[in-house]
Structure 1
Amino acid sequence: MSLRLSTTLLVFILLGGCAASPPRPPVAATAPQPAAAPASVAANDDLNAVAWSQTAIEHDLIFMQTYRDAQSRLLAALRDRHWDALPGNDRVAPLRGLKPAVVLDIDETVLDNSPYQARLIRSGGEFNEADWAAWCKEETARALPGVVQFTQFAARHGIAVIYVSNRAKDLDQVTLANLRKVGLPVSGPQAFLGLGTFVEGCEQIGSEKGCRRQRISRQYRVLMQFGDQIGDFVTVLANNAEGRRRAMAPYLDWIGTRWFVLPNATYGAWEPALFNNDWTAPLEKRRQQKIDALRYK
């Protein structure tokens, strides 16, 4: 009896001990590990703008539409002896007896430099004069849609085609070569007025084109002007939102008749106007100031 009792008691104690132990979780298959997060890529403000300019059919259609519309109006402007597309401050000689001309900016108005902008996106760099000059010397920029047909039409009707650009004057030969390669009419070196062109009696203000327009006014009656920046048409005294509106206010009726403005979302004076024209500020600060300039209503 005592042995049986002891054995029974031992079994009871062992069972009680098993009941008190915490249950073990079932053995699970190894859980899949989450994929490694991709390395962060710094945002580039030009990515969408360059992608649009290179791939969107809408970009090409805007250029074609602009140059076709200008061409349809050109001969009427030629016949009107009082027609002039230079603002008052730039017209320094009377119109009588002057030869007709059209004036075009080059970059993003006549030639497409989006491959250079794409290279900056790929490298993560910013514009610099050395790389820009190297790109120009490749002479591979394409003509933008519609411009070859328009300028050739102008030349056939005895209208001089003059290119006013802020490319440095020492890039004139490679620029003229690039223009010729894509079929744009070039009458000679005098057809290109680059940055640094000397104009007697006129003091150059930064990269403004006013002095060069004055030089043109002494020889030509300008029928039309083309550009992607308002500085291609008129001198901008204060590069901020209000100063830019004020510069254009007297000439709004000229848009689409004497002045033809083309789209450029990749660069231009509109950008530094958003951060007080301070290119020495860190990129992050400039970008934040652009964000701060956005409207949300």
Structure 2
Amino acid sequence: MASSHLLFLILLSVFISTTFSSPSLIRLPTGHRKFGLNDDLYCDSWRLSVETNNAGEWSTIPSQCQVFVQNYMTGQRYLSDSVIVANYSFAYASSVEIATDGKDAWVFDIDETLLSNLPYYARHGFGSEPFDEESFDEWVDLADAPALPASLNLYNQVKEMGFKIFLLTGRSEDQRNATIKNLLFAGYSDWERLILRGTSDQGKLAIVYKSEKRSELVNEGYRIRGSSGDQWSDLLGFAVAERSFKLPNPMYFIA
């Protein structure tokens, strides 16, 4: 018993000595410039908080992050992140047993999901400027937004699988013609329905508006198997999809 007690005291002493005298293996960041964090490290952590919905509502990117966001959006990282999301989406879609009644649905957002507005945001600071609805509407009317390549590939894959595709966007009904023109120009076709904000939808939060429109689909008997969007408000709320897939977008936030 004495030897066991002695062994316990020795082990306890070693534990206490190791715990309180050795440097921690994990060094937690405690701030930004005040504590020596460089902008890239801070902005990468900020981007993670945005994508995981921890940052909450925000109107513009942090001023010191414009170059970081520009490099991210115009570099390989953004394309790679989008491909990974599309790959997970495809893997899930492949696991769904498509029924013969034509009621298995996939819902896609449009802006920064199917179409990339990067040419517009490149002229407006990659999200460092407050959103200007008038200038963005002028951009939409040009119908020049290119397809996000990974999303175009996923779109065609789920279409070939037999999903009914619904496009649910926050764009207004008066932008229907320009939106259709742009989608076709970018390579999208054969969707089941394009849903835009009507008069009664104006002023609603995106999460409410999109939930209501998904609910209407459910009431029509559709099973929303999958949903893709760049905003959490595209995916959360009610009448949500069985699986939702969040695409990256550190340039703006929509509630």
TM bin, normalised by shorter chain, reads 0.5 to 0.7
Q: Does 2:90 match 1:71? A: yes
Select 2:184's aligned residue among 180, 183, 188: 180
Of the three residues 248, 261, 267, the one matched with 2:246 is 261
Alignment partner of 2:230 out of 228, 235, 259: 228
The separation in 2 between residues aligned to 1:171 and 1:65, in whole angstroms, is: 31
Q: Alignment partner of 2:79: what SS?
A: helix
> Identity of counterpart residues, as a percentage?
23
CA-to-partner distance for each residue in 1:121-165, whole Å, 9 max, x for gaps? 29x853222111110111111111311111112222221111111
TM-score, normalization: structure 2? 0.65
Return the alpha-carbon distance in structure 1 between the equivalents of residues 70 and 89 of structure 2: 26
Q: Is 1:169 matched up with 2:165?
A: no
| Corresponding position: 1:50 with 2:64 | no
Preserved CA contact (<8 Å) 2:107 2:168:
yes
| The structure with more helix, counted as a fraction of residues | 2
Aligned runs of 1:6-155 on 2, under 5 Å? Answer: 43=63, 46-54=66-74, 56-79=75-98, 99-121=103-125, 126-155=130-159
Over 3 Å counting, the alpha-carbon distance change for 1:98 and 1:156 in structure 2 is: closer
Q: CA distance change for structure 1 residues 136 and 148 in 2, over 3 Å: closer, same or farther?
A: same
Rounded to whole Å, the distance in 2 between the matches of 1:164 and 1:45 is: 30
Q: Distance in 2 between matches of 1:170 and 1:51?
A: 34
SS in 2 for 1:143: coil
Preserved contact between residue 110 and residue 168 of structure 2 (Cα < 8 Å): yes
Is the CA contact (8 Å cut-off) linking 1:224 and 1:259 kept in structure 2?
Answer: yes
* Greater C-alpha Rg: 1
Q: Distance in 2 between matches of 1:215 and 1:198?
A: 15
| Aligned residue number for residue 52 of structure 2 | none
Contact map agreement 1:180 1:186 (CA 8 A) in 2: no
Write the letter of the residue equivalent to 2:223: R
Q: 1:69 to 1:127 in 2, by over 3 A?
A: same
| Structure 2 Cα separation of the partners of residues 117 and 44 of structure 1 | 17
| Match in the other structure for 1:192 | 194
Is the alpha carbon distance of 1:70 and 1:126 closer, same or farther for their aligned partners in structure 2, counting shifts above 3 Å? same
Q: Contact 2:227–2:243 (CA<8 Å) still a contact in 1?
A: yes
Contact 1:155 1:185 survives alignment (8 Å): no
**Equivalent AA in structure 1 for residue 237 of structure 2:** T
Partner SS, residue 78 of structure 1: coil
Which residue is equivalent to 2:60?
Answer: none
Root-mean-square deviation over aligned CA pairs: 3.1
Per-residue CA shift, 1:174-213, capped at 9, x if unaligned? Answer: 11211111112243xx6211122768xxx98433311111
Structure 1 residue runs of 5 or longer lacking an equivalent are: 1-42, 82-95, 237-250, 271-297
Deviations 1:45-66 (A, max 9, x none): 5443233212x21110111121
* C-alpha deviation, 1:73, in angstroms: 2.3
d(CA) in 2 for partners of 1:167, 1:133:
9
